Amino acid sequence: MPLVLYRGGDDSVVERTFSDDLSLGADLWATGGAPAGIAARHAVITRSQAQFPVLVDFAEPGRETRVNGVDTCGLRALCHGDRIRIGPAELIYWEIVLQRARREDVGRKCPFCTRPLEEGVEVVLCPRCKALQHKRCWFNLEQCCTYACQYPVQQTLRRTLSPPLRFEDVETGSTLVRDTARCPARRRRDAVPFQADDVVTRCPDCEKPYHAVCWFARSRCATAGCGYDIEALLRRAFTPGADPASVPLARPR
Ligand SMILES: [Zn+2]
Ligand SMILES: [Zn+2]
Ligand SMILES: [Zn+2]
Ligand SMILES: [Zn+2]
């Protein structure tokens, strides 16, 4: 479920989850009172018709809402990791949250592999269809597999994780195609060399190219002696930290 992280009235870090809309206003600061300069209904996070998160700014002129340092001009699409400034307060938007299956989730079936969830396994709640699914299954998909959902999983991963990763669309004349290089993930598609239109990323440590989707399906880099920890990268990006100031990956735009 999406959430925002911010500093509460007593200076502790508050995590507020929501399912559809969230009003960002004075009422968020239930304890200790809202910081001065925040209107009752400053802004709202809602979802567009296509279910993408959007911030609608209701603040009066002079109290504008900023996202990653830029004025929203009334409306702004949000991405995982965006920093929202309302009045003097900063909030961080989390579109995707990695969590462990709780006891009450046990027995629910992952829509991709159809196996029942076990307590403690890593799961993700799709922000669009709200189905709980194995992390390993969901991060492996181009789009969420729930009927009519099609949430763009890989696109969200790529937007959130560049940097530290870089992604390139392979073109017909590119070196990867000319050299008939192959993705080292050893999945079925890796029997053939890289093709035009593949989306490729390189291991930040050893620079080995992978299909982006193959990279996210692995726990570590396959290169002997490298072993870059991909799971740790995903955990850092999608597990809310205790301190917003230390939350990585918010990019200025
Ligand atoms: Zn599954
Ligand atoms: Zn979905
Ligand atoms: Zn590597
Ligand atoms: Zn591959």
Model confidence over 203-242: pLDDT tens digits?
999 999 999 999 998 999 999 999 999 998 998 888 886 4
Identify the pLDDT of residue 134: 94
Spell out which residues have Cβ within 5 A of ligand 1, the ion. 110, 112-113, 134, 137
Of the two residues 61 and 190, the one the predictor is more confident about is 190
Identify the pLDDT of residue 206: 95
> What's the mean pLDDT in 192-200?
94
Ligand (nearest to CA of 133): 1
CA of 176 to the centre of ligand 1 (A): 32
pTM of the model: 0.80
**How far is residue 136's CA from residue 195's CA, in Å, rounded to a whole number?**
25
pLDDT of 244 above 60 = no
Identify the pLDDT of residue 181: 92
- What letter represents residue 126's amino acid? C
**How far is residue 115's CA from residue 41's CA, in Å, rounded to a whole number?**
43
CA of 5 to the centre of ligand 4 (A): 35
CA of 121 to the centre of ligand 3 (A): 26
With a pLDDT cut of 70, the percent of the chain lying above it is 94
Ligand (nearest to CA of 207): 3
pLDDT of 20 above 90 = no
Ligand (nearest to CA of 183): 4
pLDDT of 14 above 80 = yes
pLDDT of 253 above 50 = no
- Dmax over CA atoms of the chain, in Å, equals 63
> What's the mean pLDDT in 18-30?
86
Which tokens sit at 120?
Answer: 């403690």
pLDDT of 250 above 60 = no
Contact 98, 239 (CB under 8 A): yes
User: Which pLDDT band, with edges at 50, 70 and 90, does 163 fall under?
Assistant: confident
pLDDT of 247 above 80 = no
Ligand (nearest to CA of 185): 4
User: Which pLDDT band, with edges at 50, 70 and 90, does 252 fall under?
Assistant: very low
Of 22-26, 50-54, 87-91, the poorest mean pLDDT is in 50-54
77-91 in b/e burial notation, b at 16+ Cβ within 10 A?
ebbbbbbbbbbebbb
Please state which CATH number belongs to domain 3-95: 2.60.200.20
**How far is residue 162's CA from residue 174's CA, in Å, rounded to a whole number?**
21
Ligand (nearest to CA of 110): 1
**How far is residue 81's CA from residue 75's CA, in Å, rounded to a whole number?**
17
> Quick one: CA dihedral 217, 234, 14, 41, positive or negative?
negative
pLDDT of 251 above 50 = no
CA of 185 to the centre of ligand 4 (A): 5
Ligand (nearest to CA of 143): 2
Spell out which residues have Cβ within 5 A of ligand 2, the ion. 126, 128-129, 144, 146, 149, 151
Q: What is the residue extent of each domain of the chain?
A: 3-95, 99-143, 161-238
> What's the mean pLDDT in 92-120?
92
